[in-house]
Structure 1
Amino acid sequence: MKKIAVVGSINSDYFVEADVLPKTGETILGNNFFRALGGKGANQAVAASRLGAEVSFFGSVGKDDNGYFAKDTFMQENIVTSFLLFENNAHTGAAFVEISNSENRIIVIPGANSFTNKKYVENYLEQILKHDIFIFQLEIPMETIDYLIPILYEHQKIIIVNPAPAQLIKQDIIDKITYLTPNEHEYQEVLDQPDSSMEDALTKYPNKLVITCGQDGVKFFDGNRIVHVPVHVVKAVDTTGAGDTFCGAFAVALADGKELSECIRFGNIAAALSVQKKGAQAGMPFKKDVDQIIKEERIDDTERDIPQN
């Protein structure tokens, strides 16, 4: 299996649960509070590692309790931590997550993630290039994306960009990305196409633009038609981290040599399993969990094909 490198963010996630989310200026009583390791980069690394990939993390934390907690957690998840930068002049990134009725809204404070910059990449470039598949998000400086992706493209690496939080990506960078995976609310801003329909956007980027649409599944254009890969339906407890689980699982399937539609299906199943527990990483499945669902679906398909008397 190909080696995966996640170049991205690490945060301490602070979760607050309530029956309803407060309106502007309103104070309400919540039901629960907890803290966990997060950051889109860290989440995607954990998801990929649990699904059997060899994963290295490239990123920055503060020289504080949260930073050391992140390293310890990565080691427990079998993620290579040799390239973590412990920054003296910043705290570990933080995210504040409000949860109500399985929905969430999030504010992120980058902190030490800002130090995963061009200088950081220059220091670790030799080690970075030893990997095959790369996952990026937009919780690190955009200069890192703009600098590193052209180098990876020249070395014919597989490049996945999960463009969240959504912001414009330069066209020459988009052209060098292998797979761009925004959700249905992000693609217009990322592509600088505010009036573009999803169909128009997809057809402009065949087998590159992969749009996740929540309960409506995932869509991409294969060069001939728009392909819709449906979700695996479960009862959701907390959707935090579902998109990150999809992205990590998608990378694992690519590393295993699967076709694009199968990679998306694998990601959909992993994401569905992840929402059945609270917290971004708590519900992330292991390979045996996803393989079991795939096996059950194959049995169901076989039974449907049996002629009935």
Structure 2
Amino acid sequence: MPKIAVVGSINLDLVVPVPHHPVPGETVLGGELAEHPGGKGANQAVAAARLGAQVAMVGRVGDDEAGSVLRAALQREGVDVRWVLAESGFRTGRALIAVDRASGENSIIVSPGANTALAPEHCAASGTVLRDADVTLLQQEIPAATVEAAARLAGGTVLLNPAPARSTMTRESLRDLLDMVDILVPNRAELAAMVGHELHDLHAVADAARTLRGPSAVVVTLGADGALLCEEGAVLLVPALAVTPVDTTAAGDAYCGALACAVAEGLPLHEAVRNANATAALATTRPGAQPSLPTRAEVEKLLGHDFLP
């Protein structure tokens, strides 16, 4: 099985369905509160594990009940949690998520908690897990220095999902990070934040992706429009699969986990993107973050062929 190392966040998601997202100063009455395991790092680890990958997670939880619950949830999914440790004096991270009942679109506020304690030295202390992984999967709900340390220690392909976008990142620090990244997977808004201007159409998205120096490939996720793959100067729009969305929470994480799994299995990147499109589409048809992540058999059924065509 392919080996994937995920260095990232672990959160408890607190999810409330709402009739619409409130505007500033507005209060809306939502539905029943649901609690699910979440966090971009943990979601991506579970997504890859459900698709058959051998996954190890490097992260931090609080020394509290939520931390124990989330660590156990990862372990049940087959994720190696030897490097998921409880940090004394911290609460486990939380994500406050409002989901529009009609569109399935979400808005999220993250209280990072123990995720802020994940430090560069913890990456070094993870032994050979980063060096030996076929793919190291990173996001930005942990400190920037830790993301950079993990990328530097990685021995295989480095896949970075630059979410959430860092408005405080300097051009120089961005260049330094991208020099260590092989595959960059932003959405349209994250790519716009990286290049410093709005992207009004797909031509602008493609032009922006081509301006980035460092990664050998950029995969821009476009929601219902699919994904734009920019590789070696060529641009390919890979269409989305038609589904009826219920909740878009963790769709991007499903995408990244699937892409990492397919890359680790040796698929050409255009095939890996098609698999990731299908995985993310399925995730939008169910509520919650980790509860929405599909299995390999479910993805293959939607694709109409094996994960490895």
**TM-score normalised by L of structure 2:** 0.90
- Of the two, which has the highest radius of gyration? 1
Q: 2:241 pairs with 232, 241, 244, which one?
A: 232
CA distance in 1, matches of 2:94, 2:188: 25
CA distance in 2, matches of 1:16, 1:254: 35
- Please name the residue that 1:174 is paired with: 178
The answer to which of 23-32 and 200-209 deviates more is 200-209
CA distance in 1, matches of 2:192, 2:27: 34
**Contact 1:17–1:99 (8 Å) recurs in 2:** yes
- Structure 2, unaligned stretches of length 5 or more? none
Deviations 1:109-158 (A, max 9, x none): 11000111112123224333232211000000001122232232xx4x10
Deviations 1:49-83 (A, max 9, x none): 00000001000000111100011101110111111
The answer to which of 134-143 and 29-38 deviates more is 29-38
CA shift at 1:285, angstroms?
0.7
CA distance in 2, matches of 1:232, 1:13: 27
% identical aligned pairs: 37
CA shift at 1:85, angstroms?
1.5
- Please name the residue that 2:263 is paired with: 254
CA shift at 1:195, angstroms?
6.1
Q: 1:135 pairs with 127, 134, 137, which one?
A: 137
Where do residues 119-130 of structure 1 align in structure 2 (5 Å cutoff)?
119-130=121-132
Amino acid at match of 1:268: N
CA distance in 2, matches of 1:224, 1:128: 29
**TM-score normalised by L of structure 1:** 0.90
- Please name the residue that 1:306 is paired with: none
Q: Which runs of 4+ in 1 moved over 4 A?
A: none
**Contact 1:61–1:92 (8 Å) recurs in 2:** yes
Pair 1:224–1:9, CA change in 2 (3 A): closer
Superposition RMSD in Å: 1.8
CA shift at 1:297, angstroms?
10
